[in-house]
């Protein structure tokens, strides 16, 4: 293996040159932290390539095969055709995809996550490899897909290919001689005549790709996808291929429960060296958090430049105008400016309960087994019939910091016969949560109604296995009449109280506010793997009574956005505050607020 000095390599390597320009601050625009981390990853990988710990090598010549192919294409849109010239960030993306190889010569990257602001050439980035891998990579009968929520959206990428093809007689042919491609716009596909492959635009009917093997596939505007079904079907079709690439290119969105946000979080963890996934490429251009938090920082040119690597004087003017309008109008205009102009994930809602940045900082690797021998308080949020039922054990912790902390163990239950129904109606991965041990399926009572005895059996076993000291039980009186005797028996076993938790703003206000403040202070602790709890936390809104006391509720426009785990968590917090006493002051008390 040749040891390339980075600066020498950069003269003949546009991919690495861009990474160096970003890291060393030589671009003519401001660069955000995430983009810099993506480039630092590339440079770090160059230094460790070919080692036992990192069995990949960088081949700049192969990187330039893709870059040079792109620049043989002709941009026909506009008044006069002109050769395509890539921007530096496009060199970095396309070169990285094709230039990094494993020791057998296969491409390193199997998946890719790219997130940039609107009008930064996303479709072009996907159209170039669609054409190259479709006809020029030496792979026969390749299956190339452009996928989106709607077939018209999916055709945008294929249409970019079509424009390149039609602009070049060698690619598209003439009336006397066929070309390398044949566009069949009527059924949204392009035939690749050299390899006998095809480029296909796929809409929402994902059944059409079941069993196929994509050599390259792009998923456009993934933030609009309500589920990960299409992405997973594409990925599952690649299991027997030595090399393939599933590319997600998107702008940010405003649904933090969408599958795209999970991919965004995971991809950021990769470039931050929290997660280890060498086969995923990541490029995210977004403003830094401290700029977004600064007064008027979100409306600054600096924030706009960080989200828009294709930065031109015209774009600068347009975004400056958009910022003025967004600041004045607010609402949907502001949301659109944040997500599309600044590529910034944000869930706009005046009554959003939890600041998800605060919630995220409370995530931990702590497990229920780490609570062995401790006191705990149980709250059960009971469903009506076949919906979700949730329980939460809260552990007050006075021995791990200056302030009291609280560990939350959330678990939910659902009747077996209702799982498929709720996956469809809620657009939520209940099957995956079952597999992850976050959700227990109850089989009794025909599997159509939650069996509360089954739930108590779960908690009896959990309490015994971990030698937990149950000090109180709270319950929602709604639907609990037939359950009270069983709850009393469990309470008698542990010598603790059973407390009715009335589901009103007056009853829940103090616990609801305190729970929120403890999250802000970082005093809540929950298992970061509990995605069901976090999903429900994002769904929780606040409602208030005439005294401005609050409680959480579902969004009235989205009744299937379940909040049962959060209801149970706040109820457990109320019981804990009422019964546990205070060895240390809570954040709530420190601020002079009324306590239960």
Residue 50 sits in the same domain as residue 91: yes
Instruction: Assign residue 127 the CATH number of its domain.
Output: 3.40.50.300
Residue 311 sits in the same domain as residue 280: no
Mean pLDDT computed over 404-415: 94
Asked whether the beta carbons of 384 and 562 are under 8 A apart, the reply is no
Instruction: Tell me phi and psi for residue 374, to 5 degrees.
Output: -90, 160
Give me the sign of the Cα torsion angle 23, 26, 32, 34: negative
Confidence of residue 215 (pLDDT cuts 50, 70, 90): very high
Residue 221 sits in the same domain as residue 304: no
- The whole-number pLDDT of residue 163 equals 93
Confidence of residue 17 (pLDDT cuts 50, 70, 90): very high
DSSP string, 96-140: HHHHEEETTS-BS-SEEEEE--SSSSHHHHHHHHHHHHHHTSS-S
Mean pLDDT computed over 307-318: 96
Both tokens of 67, joined, read 């870059």
- The whole-number pLDDT of residue 596 equals 37
Over the chain, what is the mean pLDDT?
A: 88
Residue 94 sits in the same domain as residue 29: yes
- Digit-coded pLDDT (tens) for 175-209: 788 899 999 988 888 999 999 999 998 886 555 56
- Digit-coded pLDDT (tens) for 521-550: 999 999 999 999 999 998 898 988 888 888
Whether 337 maps to a domain, the answer reads: yes
Whether 351 maps to a domain, the answer reads: no
Diameter over CA atoms, the chain: 92
Closest CA to 564 of 355, 418, 383: 383
Domain end among 235, 264, 284? 284
Whether 468 maps to a domain, the answer reads: yes
Residue 585 sits in the same domain as residue 445: yes
Residue 5 scores a pLDDT above 60: no
Number of domains present in the structure of the chain:
3
Asked whether the beta carbons of 143 and 212 are under 8 A apart, the reply is yes
Whether 121 maps to a domain, the answer reads: yes
Confidence of residue 45 (pLDDT cuts 50, 70, 90): very high
Instruction: Assign residue 497 the CATH number of its domain.
Output: 3.30.420.240
Count of other CB atoms within 10 angstroms of residue 570: 26
Residue 463 sits in the same domain as residue 570: yes
CA distance 60 to 70: 15
Both tokens of 113, joined, read 């996550």
Confidence of residue 2 (pLDDT cuts 50, 70, 90): very low
Asked whether the beta carbons of 334 and 327 are under 8 A apart, the reply is yes
Integer angstrom CA distances of residue 578 from 2, 383, 488, 499, 572: 68, 24, 19, 10, 10
Closest CA to 458 of 396, 412, 491, 500: 412
- Parent domain of 441: 356-590
Confidence of residue 1 (pLDDT cuts 50, 70, 90): very low
Mean pLDDT computed over 71-98: 91
User: The pTM is what?
Assistant: 0.79
Asked whether the beta carbons of 568 and 379 are under 8 A apart, the reply is yes
Mean pLDDT computed over 102-130: 94
Residue 146 sits in the same domain as residue 276: yes
Integer angstrom CA distances of residue 91 from 11, 14, 15, 299, 578: 14, 6, 5, 29, 60
Q: Residue 208 carries which DSSP code?
A: G
Both tokens of 330, joined, read 């607010």
Give me the sign of the Cα torsion angle 174, 178, 180, 181: positive
């Amino acid at each position: 293996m040749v040891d390339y000095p980075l600066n020498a390599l950069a003269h003949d390597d546009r991919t690495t040159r861009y990474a160096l320009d970003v890291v060393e601050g030589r671009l003519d625009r401001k660069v955000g932290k995430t983009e810099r981390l993506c480039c630092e990853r590339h440079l770090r990988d160059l230094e460790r390539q070919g080692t036992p710990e990192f069995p990949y090598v960088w081949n700049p010549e192969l990187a330039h095969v893709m870059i040079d192919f792109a620049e043989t294409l002709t941009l026909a849109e506009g008044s006069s055709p002109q050769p395509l010239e890539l921007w530096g960030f496009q060199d970095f993306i396309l070169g990285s995809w094709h230039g990094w190889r494993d020791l057998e010569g296969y491409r390193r990257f199997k998946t890719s996550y790219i997130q940039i602001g609107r009008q930064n050439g996303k479709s072009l980035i996907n159209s170039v490899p669609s054409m190259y891998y479709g006809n020029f990579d030496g792979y026969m009968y390749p299956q190339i897909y452009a996928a989106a929520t709607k077939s018209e959206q999916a055709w945008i990428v294929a249409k970019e290919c079509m424009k390149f093809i039609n602009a070049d007689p060698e690619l598209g042919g003439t009336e006397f001689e066929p070309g390398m491609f044949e566009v069949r716009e009527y059924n949204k596909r392009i035939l690749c005549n050299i390899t006998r492959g095809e480029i296909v635009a796929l809409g929402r009917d994902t059944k059409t790709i079941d069993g196929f093997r994509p050599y390259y596939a792009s998923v456009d505007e993934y933030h609009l996808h309500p589920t990960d079904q299409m992405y997973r079907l594409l990925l599952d079709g690649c299991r027997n291929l030595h090399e393939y690439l599933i590319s997600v290119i998107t702008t940010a969105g405003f649904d933090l429960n969408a599958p795209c946000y999970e991919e965004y979080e995971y991809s950021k963890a990769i470039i931050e060296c929290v997660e280890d996934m060498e086969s995923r490429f990541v490029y995210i251009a977004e403003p830094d958090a401290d700029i977004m938090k600064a007064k008027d920082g979100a409306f600054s040119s600096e924030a706009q430049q960080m989200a828009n690597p294709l930065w031109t004087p015209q774009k600068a003017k347009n975004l400056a105008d958009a910022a003025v309008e967004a600041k004045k109008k607010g609402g949907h205009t502001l949301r659109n400016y944040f997500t599309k102009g600044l590529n910034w994930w944000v869930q706009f809602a005046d009554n959003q309960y939890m600041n998800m940045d605060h919630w995220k900082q409370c995530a931990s690797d702590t497990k229920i087994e780490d609570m062995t021998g401790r006191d705990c308080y149980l709250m059960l949020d009971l469903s009506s019939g076949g919906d979700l039922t949730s329980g939460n054990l809260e552990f007050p912790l006075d021995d791990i910091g200056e302030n009291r902390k609280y560990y939350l163990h959330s678990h939910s239950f659902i009747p077996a016969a209702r799982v498929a129904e709720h996956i469809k109606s809620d657009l939520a991965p209940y099957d995956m949560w079952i597999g992850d041990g976050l959700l227990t399926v109850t089989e009794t009572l025909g599997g159509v109604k939650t069996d509360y005895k089954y739930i108590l059996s779960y908690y009896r076993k959990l309490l015994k296995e971990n030698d937990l000291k149950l000090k109180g039980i709270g319950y929602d009186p709604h639907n609990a009449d037939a359950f009270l005797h069983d709850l009393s028996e469990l309470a008698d076993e542990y010598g603790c109280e059973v407390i009715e938790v009335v589901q009103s703003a007056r009853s829940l206000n103090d616990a609801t506010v305190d729970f929120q403040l403890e999250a802000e202070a970082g005093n809540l602790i929950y298992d970061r793997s509990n995605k069901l709890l976090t999903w429900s936390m994002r769904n929780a809104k606040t409602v208030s009574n005439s005294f401005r006391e609050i409680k959480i509720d579902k969004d009235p426009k989205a009744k299937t956005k379940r909040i049962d785990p959060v209801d149970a968590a706040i109820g457990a917090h109320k019981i804990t505050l009422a019964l546990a006493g205070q060895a240390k002051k809570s954040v709530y008390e420190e601020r002079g607020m009324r306590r239960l």
